[in-house]
């Protein structure tokens, strides 16, 4: 088995565990995994159109629409007029939906325990590898664009000489290391295409 196939097999095993937990966790709340994902997405990222939710979760619009209809019926989500376009509607999580989303957003203890089995150096290397893999998948349009540090206008890769904390976040004005590179950040501001390319290049080359 090649190294690539070996890694792919390992990721598939982890994905299997996450899918099983997603079904179990959503099932206890009388939701499907897609419904749970939509609810958490709306709470974490704010109101959105059905089309935007479908794109972010990499599902068809019909699948998203069906899940949203169920969430509205269960009073977890409500539709409101889009202030920027009277012809469109935005999905908002209700108060009950917000409470439920906070329960659903907790990662399983088994996964967190497995991550804690890695020492700090291994966690930093693993995070760095994940960032590069996600970036490659984005370039191939295999997954939606993620709100990662590397594509953010606040990110300054390898701005410091400290090997433990080489990067800098202009938003909080602080240095940080590879293990703290975010794969989904609420303060993310997409940088210009040229800046993103430069950040990706510096991040990958310096990490090589």
pLDDT at 84: 86
pLDDT at 145: 86
Fold observed for domain 3-104: Arc Repressor Mutant, subunit A (1.10.10)
Residues of the chain with pLDDT below 50 are none
pLDDT at 87: 86
- The 3-state secondary structure of the chain reads CCHHHHHHHHHHHHHHHHHHHHHHHHHHCCCCHHHHHHHHHHHHHCCECHHHHHHHHCCCHHHHHHHHHHHHHCCCEEEEEECCEEEEEEEEECHHHHHHHHHHCCCCHHHHHHHHCCCHHHHHHHHHHHHHHHHHHHHCCCCCCCCCHHHECCEECCCCCCCCCCEEECCCCEEECHHHCCCCCCCCCECCHHHHHHHHHHHHHHHC
pLDDT at 208: 56
Domain boundary assignment for the chain: 3-104, 118-207
């Amino acid at each position: 088995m090649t190294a690539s196939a070996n890694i792919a097999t390992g990721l598939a095993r982890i994905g299997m565990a996450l899918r099983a937990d997603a079904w179990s966790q959503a099932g206890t709340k009388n939701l499907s995994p897609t419904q749970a994902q939509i609810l958490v997405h709306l709470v974490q990222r704010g109101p959105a159109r059905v089309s935007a939710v479908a794109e972010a979760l990499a599902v068809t619009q019909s699948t998203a629409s069906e899940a949203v209809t169920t969430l509205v019926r269960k009073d977890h989500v409500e539709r409101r007029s889009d202030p920027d376009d009277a012809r469109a509607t935005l999905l908002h999580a209700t108060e009950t939906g917000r409470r439920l989303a906070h329960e659903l957003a907790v990662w399983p203890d088994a996964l967190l325990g497995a991550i804690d089995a890695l020492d700090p150096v291994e966690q930093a290397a693993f995070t760095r590898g994940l960032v590069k893999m996600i970036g490659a998948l984005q370039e191939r349009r295999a997954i939606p664009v993620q709100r990662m540090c590397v594509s953010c206008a606040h990110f300054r890769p390898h701005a410091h000489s400290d090997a433990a904390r080489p990067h800098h976040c202009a938003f909080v004005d602080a240095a940080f290391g590879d293990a703290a590179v975010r794969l989904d950040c609420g303060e993310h501001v997409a940088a210009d295409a040229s800046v993103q390319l430069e950040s990706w290049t510096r991040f990958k080359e310096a990490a090589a």
